Structure 1
Amino acid sequence: MVVKSLERILYVEDEPDIRAVARLALEAVGGFDVCLCDSGKAALDAVQAFSPDLILLDVMMPGMDGPSTLSALRELPDVQETPVVFMTAKVQANEVARYRQQGAIDVIAKPFDPMTLSATVRDIWSKHHG
């Protein structure tokens, strides 16, 4: 089996400051190709054209929250198998278990450390593609 490399990340986050920090962390530190979306709807509009290897998805967003966005993404033919990681401040064990039941491969706690975010993402990726 050929292990797919992680290069393209779709990051969905409604907070502009967090988006800016994450872009810097993932592009400058991690060397990833990143597509930023400010809402679930924007992610649905962008995801097929961008064709990400991984989707980082904020849980708490106005309009479509992370779980609703994930459900909608799973309806799209090219995105059904794309791994999703939720990013949230809500990381109690029962909450993390619920996110996994909803289809997330992992959860990254917010606030995240911009200097280690890329390494965390790579670790998650290698656990699921190693």
Structure 2
Amino acid sequence: MRDDRDDPFGDIFDEIERMMSEMTGAAAGEAGAGDAGFGDETHVAVYEEGETLRLVADLPGVEKESIDLQCDGRTLTVSAAGASRRFDERVRLPVRVDEHSASASFNNGVLEVTFDALEPSADIDVE
């Protein structure tokens, strides 16, 4: 059994945890924290489903009309405004997508965006 009193890094980890708690508290509601991006209450997941890529994001308290989506084929930028905060997130996609194939839906605070995945770049043989 390990004795934590002999842990030379314990104080460092305690300080890191304290600082993270302060930052999380600031993101949750202190003045000026509304533009911090997605917070603890927001979950973003990306799924590769064969030739389709699907992104699902929880945007609590957001109205559909306030959502702005931009994609360059590699990164999806999600901006949205709620009554008490603003969400801004750049999500690096795991594969290149056809941004013109995008479709999006928003229902009960859940944003779902789908794209057609593009084929990987072709190898070029050197002769």
In the superposition, the TM-score normalised over structure 1's length comes to 0.22
Which structure has more RCO (C-alpha within 8 Å, separation ≥ 6)?
1
Greater share of helix: 1
Structure with higher strand content: 2
Pair member with larger Rg? 2
